[in-house]
Amino acid sequence: MLRLKQERLRRGWSLTDVCFLTRIDPAALSKIERGKWPCGPGWRRRLAEAFGLPEEVLFGEVPADDERGRD
């Protein structure tokens, strides 16, 4: 989940910060960010709420506003 990690780093959040907000285990979150662990619907929802972004944007299914229109 490259976009998830990019967004976390852009905000200056540590894995621990996100884990505190979402109650997701740090090892699991690290694997999710690297695409090594599936992110189920409950965790997707929690992460999207923590970041204040739609799931589709946070998980790279649609471009973020700042990526639209770039060629």
Work out the percent of the chain whose per-residue pLDDT is above 70: 83
Say which residue, 45 or 62, is predicted with more confidence.
45
Is residue 17 pLDDT above 60, yes or no? yes
Compute the distance between CA of residue 53 and CA of residue 19 in angstroms, rounded to an integer: 17
Q: Which fold has domain 2-62?
A: 434 Repressor (Amino-terminal Domain) (1.10.260)
Name the pLDDT band for 24 (thresholds 50, 70, 90): very high
Sign of CA dihedral 57, 58, 61, 65: positive
| Nearest partner of 32 among 41, 21, 54, judged by Cα | 41
Q: Identify the pLDDT of residue 2.
A: 76
In the three-class reduction of DSSP (H, G, I as helix; E, B as strand; rest coil), residue 34 is classed as coil
| Nearest partner of 1 among 35, 29, 28, judged by Cα | 35
Backbone φ, ψ for residue 32 (5° rounding): -60, -45
